[in-house]
Structure 1
Amino acid sequence: MEQLNPLTEFFRSIEKDQRISITHIGIFEALLQFRANQGNINPIKAYRHEIMKIAKITGPVTYHRCIKDLNEYGYINYIPKKNRNQKSVIYFLV
């Protein structure tokens, strides 16, 4: 069986998921790009501003809403850090 790449699997998963918006897709793709730049590790550790820059998102409220949605909907496992000087941990589930 051919193993699907994460973006293809994500698109298959969201095909009928009406909760997912273009912003969710942009953030997920930014997470994948960040992951690729880190050597395709799972999980990744990242600051919010690193992902927002890749996704071209300027509003932290929008970012947090969408990343929490992706976590709640089961596409990622997002573990935020309360300390601004520590990176959040993001596991890819899809």
Structure 2
Amino acid sequence: MDRLCYLSDFFEAIGTDPRISITHIGVYAALLQYRLQKGFTNPIQVFSHEIMSIAKLSSAITYHKCVKELSNYGYIRYEPSFNRTKGSKIYFTERSD
């Protein structure tokens, strides 16, 4: 599958979703960029500060709120680790072509 399809599919899905803000879009795009940097694995294991840096966010509260909402809305699956030495897991939905 073309890696750009994940971003295209996301934009198609959010087109009629009024809950999604520019911050959600930035966090999702940052997660995709991080995934690309890590060899396009699924899931990715992340620390909030890594994604916040890519997304240009300065607030951990905003990051966690957006990631939880993206998960609740079904765009990703988020599994927090609650362990400072082990990153949280982010799963992307794999589509079959």
Shorter-chain TM-score above 0.5: yes
Higher relative contact order (CA 8 A, sep 6+): 1
Which amino acid is the alignment partner of residue 34 of structure 2? F
**Residue of structure 2 in register with 1:20 after alignment:** 20
Residue equivalent to 1:42? 42
What does residue 6 of structure 2 align with? 6
- Deviation (angstroms), 1:85: 1.1
Measure how far apart 1:41 and its partner are. 0.9
- For 1:52, the equivalent position in structure 2 comes to 52
Residue 89 of structure 1 aligns with which residue? 89
Deviation at 1:93, TM superposition (A): 1.9
Unaligned runs of 5+ in 1: none
State the TM-score, normalizing by the size of structure 1: 0.94
Superposed CA RMSD in Å reads 1.5
Aligned: 1:76 with 2:65? no
Give the superposition deviation at 1:84.
Answer: 1.1
Tell me how far apart the structure 2 counterparts of residues 93 and 80 of structure 1 sit (CA, whole Å).
17
Q: Distance in 1 between matches of 2:25 and 2:93?
A: 15
* Superposed CA offset, 1:32-86 (max 9, x none): 0000001111110010000000000000110010000000000000000111111
Percent identical pairs in the alignment equals 52
How many pairs does the alignment contain? 93
TM-score by length of 2: 0.91
